[in-house]
Structure 1
Amino acid sequence: MAPVPPEKRTRGKSAFVTYWFSDLVTILTWSFGSVMLTIGLTATDAVLIVLVAALCNAVPTVLTGAIGSNLYISFSHRIAREFRFGVPTANGGTCVVAIINSIWPNFRTMANHLPESVGLTTAGMISYFLYWLAQFLFQLISTHKLQYMLWVKTVLLPPVTVGMPIWVAVQAGGNGTFFTRPPAVHGSERAWLWLSSMTSITGGYSTLAVNILNFSRFSRDPRAVNIGANAVSFANDVTTLAPRYFNIIVASGKAFLDFMSAYAIFMAPIAGALFTDYWLLKHRKYDVPTLYDLYGIYQYGRYGINWRAAAATFVTIIPLLPGLANKVNSDLELTEGLRNLFTFNWLYGFYLSMYLYYFANFFFP
């Protein structure tokens, strides 16, 4: 948790470019585009929504990342990182199933000894463990040395990224009307779906807007971080603890987008307060040694709680809770206004918490 010493600040511009690329080109990113087609939007809509959502998240990500690249301090995330590889490992386990099936077809018919309520088969569990075991040793590599692995990944991913869509298009007999097919929804319904999908993607990647300084603190030059886009997120990794329910969620495109958008109601207010504190209130001037002093100027009273940030966060979240409850249980009645508010919860959460935190410090310095 201490500031990164100079000898470990090894990441330059190329390291961040490869890092962003390796995280953007993932199954999760592709899943966003595909599920939007299932709710009535077009392929063109999906491409534009992903680009706009990336921009909405890239701005706060770069601004909060400046904290790490200038001060070389981190955002406390030791607990969160335990969940970071949950869903990627689950996806990797699925790939291992396909590989083993192609080599040993009998693996496909392996008897299942796990109860149905688990939502996972014996073959799936074996594959998950094999993939976890294969990547375990890589977890022991020091963070500041990971850029070499990212360079390798950047070389391997482009041909796979280009080759897979080409293979799918050939198998399907061409793209047909994929990009020219009209939308299945129109008018205001399409507009709200557009905004809801954008919020889902922004929410899915919103974690990085909060903990980006865990990566940017290893940069040699503060400008290196600004080269990249935005990507990494453990938005839905906690659901790996309950794969049965995760399988239910991904079975429906709309449910998947609803789940990802719900995550933003917690991340957006935190990102807004973090941005405001560093850029607007402290004017990029933190006393780094005092940050580690229990009785320093950042003590925030007897209990060590910055009540201004806590108040801004909770006040922002409360109006969104009815919308979250409605996503969990659609039988709950909800006014159209609250439903529409939840649709753009990322923009609402980020900017409202930013203003609330700023004025709370202005009137109660």
Structure 2
Amino acid sequence: MATQREESGIVTLTEQGVKQVQDSPLWNDDLRPTTRAEHNWSGLSFATLWVGMCICIPTYTLAAGLIGLGMSVWQSIFTIFLGNLIIMVPILLNAHAGTKFGIPYPVFARLWFGSKGAHFPAMARAFVGAGWFGINAWIGGAALDTLLVTFYPAWANVSMHTGIIFLLFWLLTMIIAYRGPQAVKKLGAFSAPTLAILAIGLFIWAVVKADGFGPMLATPSKFETTGEFLNVFWPALTGVIAFWATLALNIPDFCRYAVSQKSQATAQVLTMPITMAIFSFIGVAVTSATVVIYGEAIWDPVQLLAKFPPYVILIGAVGIVLASITVNVSANLVAPARAIENLWPRRITFGIGAVITGLIGIAMQPWFILENFGNYIFGWLGTYGALLGPIDGIAVADYWMVRKRRLDLVELYRSNGKYSYASGFNMKSIYALALGIAASLLGLIVPGLSILWENAWTVGLFVSMFAYWWLMRTDASLLSQTEYEQITEISQLAKRENDSNVAL
């Protein structure tokens, strides 16, 4: 009897499939596969999601910070656009799995690491997300603190005033996040157009104050030779790629609600790279303008905000707060909360996971990460890119190269199923992960191989991808087309598509 049903490219559990695993310790209402009715996110939902996430302060500081490192405007834009095109590839590849099978990232990870081993990639993503949560909460709190000091100067004399506002902002974000990932769609629909208008307003101000495009875009590169430029370009490119390496892993958390593959893929391709390029251009252009206007590059928007009249500070603070909450709820809390929930599905809810994520974000000291741009791109982005790159490679290899998009949903929720491997751990994925990380670390150890570390995400991705494919190519957990059809009730349209894929 079929345990799953495929229709229009989307696979759901049948009633028989649900009965077999609904009492499993690996099952709860948040981690189960989505039903057909829950696939209700249109392309517009994904477009507003990405606009809301891209128009955020970390995007601005990433782009503006490249100017501070010595790049020209056009060198900065090129680096950012190239990095976003690269990371879009694994985003789309992993999004396909979430859309087709309706599973969240922690469950997806069971395929590669096993029912227990999946906690490692899930928690690795969780800690990075928690760090980003802390960064955005600190930025939002700092904006509110600036607003208070402007309208109530005595507030600056209160001991630890910035820390107090940070905690209040943290609490506000937690209240919104506690409502769950479906709240993201509503938040994005409101914040996306609002943030776009504020970004355009900031750009117009920069053009006017810098006396036109010429001066603001004329800031030259500080690099005298190609070699000097490449010494900054490679780690900067890794930082740009790593910026969305987290979403490249947990994009199934959102795409599991997609109406269709076409709608989510089209919306993401048209929205993310373009929005990142436009807002990055605004970031670097405004930062270049600050060199003309103030004689120094101000890449921190909160510091820039403090130089405006009070009414502008009020509008800007609202924008920064809205941007910080939007990206925090959508990009930085869903995946960590799901990962923590997956540690004990029968006891930990999404809301509890969100609260734990927020506490970890505080513990990771975001104020230190944002102390200077070197900490931000070379320390924070570069280091976690070396960890997430290999995991991205394993995810892509497993779904596309090893399993060829054929999964048994029921087995994902069995404690001793085929995806449990040896006592819940797939040692082949662990070996592949170790090889990917080791390849990048050679760049820190061996003189002359620094380019390996400077490109840690890319190096780790390809090394782990091909190592995993080689180790898993004949694994007993793989499903043949015949075995897949035995457990899947396939509509005639889906069957024709599958037959076409087999022929290819």
Q: Could you state the TM-score of these two structures normalised by the residue count of structure 2?
A: 0.63
| Distance in 1 (alpha carbons) for counterparts of 2:62 and 2:383 | 15
**Alpha-carbon deviation of 1:178?**
3.5
Which residue number corresponds to residue 216 of structure 1? 255
Residues 429, 468 of structure 2: 8 Å contact kept: yes
Larger Rg: 2
Q: CA deviation at 1:174?
A: 4.4
Residue identity matched to 1:335 = P
Q: CA deviation at 1:172?
A: 4.4
Q: Which residue in 2 is equivalent to 1:46?
A: 76
Per the alignment, residue 301 of structure 2 pairs with none
Paired residue type of 1:318:
A
1:335 equivalenced with 2:444 (yes/no): no
- 2:46 is matched with 16
Change (3 A) 1:334 1:174: farther
Give the letter aligned to residue 356 of structure 1.
Answer: A
Is 1:105 aligned to 2:153, yes or no? yes
Q: CA deviation at 1:261?
A: 1.4
Offset of residue 276 of structure 1:
0.6
> Does the CA contact (< 8 Å) of 2:246 and 2:388 recur in 1?
yes
Deviates more, 1:223-232 or 1:68-77: 223-232
Q: What residue in structure 1 maps to residue 231 of structure 2?
A: 192
Corresponding residue number in structure 1 for 2:102: 72
- Corresponding residue for 1:253? 373
What CA RMSD, in Å, does the superposition of the two structures yield over aligned residues? 2.4
Taking structure 1 as reference, are residues 218 and 364 closer, same or farther at Cα in structure 2, changes over 3 Å only?
closer
CA–CA distance in structure 1, aligned partners of residues 383 and 131 of structure 2: 18
Q: 1:282: how far off?
A: 0.6
Residue 414 of structure 2: aligned partner: 293
CA separation of 1:46 and 1:208: change in aligned 2, threshold 3 A: same
Aligned partners of 2:171, 2:454: CA distance in 1, in Å? 40
2:71–2:222 contact (8 Å) kept in structure 1: yes
2:363 is the counterpart of 1:241: yes
SS in 2 for 1:94: helix
Matching of residue 142 in structure 1 with residue 172 in structure 2: no
Select between 246-255 and 184-193 the one with higher mean Cα deviation.
246-255
Tell me, which stretches of 5 or more residues in structure 1 are unaligned? Answer: 113-121, 327-332
Which residue of structure 1 aligns with residue 168 of structure 2?
130
Q: Deviations over 1:230-284 (max 9, x none)?
A: 787559x9664243xx444434333422121121111010011111110111110
Q: Are positions 1:312 and 2:424 aligned together?
A: no
Distance (Å, rounded) in 1 between the aligned partners of 2:222 and 2:361:
31
**Matched residue SS, 1:85:** helix
1:321 aligns with 2:441: yes
1-structure distance, mates of 2:220, 2:383: 28
Query: Take 2:361 and 2:67, find their aligned partners in 1: how far apart are those partners?
Result: 24
Distance 2:184 2:475 in 1: 43
How many residues are matched? 342
In the alignment, which residue of structure 2 is the partner of 1:59?
89
Contact 2:440 2:456 in 1 (8 A): yes
Q: Deviations over 1:156-202 (max 9, x none)?
A: 11110111122244344545534233311121221232222111111
Partner SS, residue 285 of structure 1: coil
Q: Deviations over 1:47-70 (max 9, x none)?
A: 111111111101101101111100
The one of 369, 389, 398 aligned to 1:277:
398
Q: Which one is further off, 255-264 or 306-315?
A: 255-264
Shift of 1:39: 1.7
Per-residue CA deviation, residues 81-106 of structure 1 (Å, 9 max, x unaligned), is 65553221111101111221222121
User: Which of 344, 356, 360 is matched with 2:467 structurally?
Assistant: 356
With over 3 angstroms needed to count, the CA separation of the structure-2 counterparts of 1:286 and 1:242, relative to structure 1, is: closer
Q: Partner residue of 2:66? A: 36
Q: Which amino acid aligns with 1:144?
A: Q
Residue in 1 aligned with 2:192? Answer: 154
Range with bigger deviation, 82-91 or 285-294:
82-91
Q: 1:206 to 1:255 in 2, by over 3 A?
A: same
Provide the TM-score with structure 1 as the length reference. 0.86
Distance 1:248 1:128 in 2: 14
Q: 1:177 is paired with a residue of what secondary structure? A: helix
| 1:2 alignment partner AA | R
* Helix, strand or coil at the partner of 2:414: coil
Q: Is the 8 A contact 2:135 2:370 kept in 1?
A: no
Q: Deviations over 1:269-316 (max 9, x none)?
A: 001111111011111010001110112211212x21111111011011
- Aligned equivalent of 1:115: none
Task: Name stretches of at least 5 consecutive residues in structure 2 with no aligned partner.
Answer: 1-30, 107-121, 277-326, 337-357, 477-504
